[in-house]
Each structure stands twice: as structure tokens, then as C-alpha cells.
Amino acid sequence: MLSLVRMDVRLPHDMPVTLADQIKAREKEYSQELQRQGKWQQLHRIVGEYANYSIFDVDSHDELHTILSGLPLFPYMAMQVTALARHPSSIR
């Protein structure tokens, strides 16, 4: 099942830079592993924002919730999840 997820990151302004860098490094490692597994199929930066649009292909809503809540940046994110279905006019 495909889902489109918008993630907006809101790190506290008073967070120490070293802590922010550590969290971002763990986030990168976690997200790249999910990409290698095929769960996180696309990742697109939103120009001018600390945000992204991502496409996930998972087996269930519960799996998506587990993946998203496991993100190291999860406590600092606002997310919007949209379930996707195949369009009948799509050639893919």
C-alpha cells in the first residue's frame, strides 16, 4: 500500500548543534536503510523549507506508523499522511 507523507521538521531553536547533528546522522542512516529495503520509495525535498514529501510502500497502516514513529527526528516533526490508490488512467 502506497502512502504520501509530508514531513515538516521543527527543531527547537535552543537545541545544541552537536545534538541536532547526531539526530540528523541517525535519521539519514535509518532512512537510507528503509530506502534500500524498498519501504521508502521516494524522498523529495520541498524547496525553501525544512520539509519533504516521501512515498512509502508498506504492508499496513500499522507498519507505516511503526516506521514513521521510529524516525529519530519524529519528536520534532509534524506529518501529514495521505493513502494513495492507483489511478485508472495511469500508464504505470
Match 514531513 to its residue by C-alpha cell: 7
Residue 88 has a pLDDT of 93
What would the pLDDT profile of 37-85 be if each residue is shown by its tens digit? 999 999 999 999 999 999 999 999 999 999 999 999 999 999 999 999 9
Rounded to an integer, the average pLDDT of 85-91 is 93
Mean pLDDT of the chain: 97
What would the pLDDT profile of 15-36 be if each residue is shown by its tens digit? 999 999 999 999 999 999 999 9
Superfamily covering domain 2-84? Dimeric alpha+beta barrel (3.30.70.1060)
Closest by alpha carbon to 39, among 14, 64, 16, 61?
Answer: 64
Residue 92 has pLDDT above 90, yes or no: no
